[in-house]
Amino acid sequence: MKKIKRLMIIPARGNSKRIKNKNIKIFHGKPIIHYSIDSSIKSNLFDKIHISTDSTKIKNIVEKKGIKIDFMRPKKLSRDLTPLIDVFQYVIDEYSRKGFNYDEVWSLMPCSPLIDDKDLKKIASFYDKQSLKKPLLSISRYKAPIQWAYKIEKKNKIKPINIKLHKLRSQDLPPRYFDAGQFVIFPVKFMNSESFSKRINSFLGYILPPEKAIDIDLQEDWKLAEITYRGLDKN
């Protein structure tokens, strides 16, 4: 059986807006990006680990850890609204030009300290069992039924989005999930086909428990992740 060649891309721009220097901010004693790097290395799943960054500061911190960055991310792919899929395609193309080709592209976010090597191995096992090789996205279940959502109108008056669903019991409502913002997997062949917007309905989902699905975007997310990390079993 042919060995699957996997490329791990950890995207780490330099100009984080809401948390300054978020991708290299110290988290429980070391730069937070080190957790994603360490998990990727310890999993032994990847033929190559690439940190995609436009920042020389991030580059220096990563290379001091022993991860060589083969090329920097161009400025045109480092804007706030640049889709990650474009960054992935650039990295794939650059390595292809250097003579290195891969079957799967994985991407673990740089602020994912709660995803460890054991998680990555479980994800790989799950993905390898799928009969159709489609992209996979990390998802997690909404704690409360999203069907019971409200909107706020004038003078703080609240109104159900769907009054009919409010009449149903929570156990009678199907579960709903959100993008957990931790990782994504793309088969390289898939990336070279149709546009991303036409492919989103083709994604598979890997369900993460709530304690693994903290998307660190704000200071309160950071604090919650620190507390959660202390409570996780590291054995």
- In degrees to the nearest 10, what's the CA dihedral of 108, 100, 90, 78? 50
pLDDT of residue 194: 54
How many Cα atoms sit within 13 Å of 192 on the Cβ side?
Answer: 11
Q: How large a percentage of the chain has pLDDT more than 90?
A: 78
pLDDT of residue 233: 65
pLDDT of residue 64: 93
The set of residues, in sequence order, having a beta carbon less than 8 Å from that of 180 and lying 6+ positions away, is 138, 139, 140, 208, 212, 213, 215
70-74, 170-174, 226-230: least confident range: 170-174
The set of residues, in sequence order, having a beta carbon less than 8 Å from that of 162 and lying 6+ positions away, is 147, 149
Q: How large a percentage of the chain has pLDDT more than 70?
A: 94
Each domain of the chain, given as residue ranges in start order, spans: 6-140+177-231
pLDDT of residue 170: 87
pLDDT of 192 higher than 70: no
Report the relative pairing of strands 104-108 and 6-11 from DSSP bridges.
parallel
- Report the 10 Å Cβ neighbour count for 63: 12
pLDDT of residue 68: 95
19-23, 110-114, 172-176, 195-199: least confident range: 195-199
Tens of pLDDT, residue by residue over 116-145, are 999 999 999 999 998 778 899 999 999 989
- The CATH topology of domain 6-140+177-231 is Spore Coat Polysaccharide Biosynthesis Protein SpsA; Chain A (3.90.550)
**Angle between helices 117-128 and 33-43 in degrees, nearest 10:** 50
pLDDT of residue 124: 97
